[in-house]
Amino acid sequence: MSNPNFQAKLTSAGGIAIQADSLPLASADLNGRPGWLYTKGVGDGAADKFNWYFYAGTYEDMKCEDVASIYFLGSIDKWTNLHNELPHFILYTKLTGTDDQAVWYHSKHTFTLHKDTHLVRLGEKCLFHCLTEPRDKFQGARQIPFSKRTDTGAWDLNNEVLYVTLHSESSAVESSVYAETLGMDMRPFSRRIGDSHIHLNLVV
């Protein structure tokens, strides 16, 4: 397993920036695990969810074809077999001026779990991922692929990546997601960099 190359403390400016417009904000884990715990309860707002932004390509020219794997190490702590209790990955691409889907992004690509194909156990720490398998195996954590992709705008491998994020569903009445690592493996995409990765540890 590679060493972490980024770290975000829950209450730091960086930690708050990653959480962007999330409601409620993440908290320390009640069971003493080292990462972040997001919990939405019955009394929280109907539209509440988390949006964790862990890659911004504003000053880079990485394309969709250069993204090898996107992942998080953690668990689903509220699970009654409802699909909207699960988080999902989103990859946003940069504006092109043609067929842009929003004022700030060109296209949006959402990766979700096909839950009838892969078993989810309440509270089990797993390596959830999309695209190819992550290079790191995280001490044998069970791998669960998010293999279903939903496109808002065309999936074009030549489009440049704007943001990569992990989200929860606002439609869930209750949800609880624990994460201790967010990551992404990237193929070489310029003369300035070879194979690279983001291995972001979330700490309290």
In this prediction, residue 2 has a pLDDT band, given cuts at 50, 70 and 90, of low
pLDDT for position 1: 56
Q: Are 27 and 36 in contact (CB under 8 A)?
A: yes
pLDDT, tens digit, for every residue of 101-121? 999 999 999 999 988 889 999
**What pTM did the predictor assign?**
0.94
pLDDT, tens digit, for every residue of 124-179? 999 999 999 999 989 889 999 999 999 999 999 999 999 999 999 999 999 999 99
pLDDT for position 19: 97
Tokens matching residue 161: 């990546």
**How far apart are the C-alpha atoms of 23 and 191, rounded to whole Å?**
40
Residue 174's CB: how many other CB atoms inside 10 A? Answer: 15
Domain count, the chain: 1
- Structural domain including 140 reads 6-203
Separation in Å, CA 24 to CA 89, 124, 182:
19, 23, 19
Has residue 21 been placed in a domain? yes
Has residue 174 been placed in a domain? yes
Has residue 171 been placed in a domain? yes
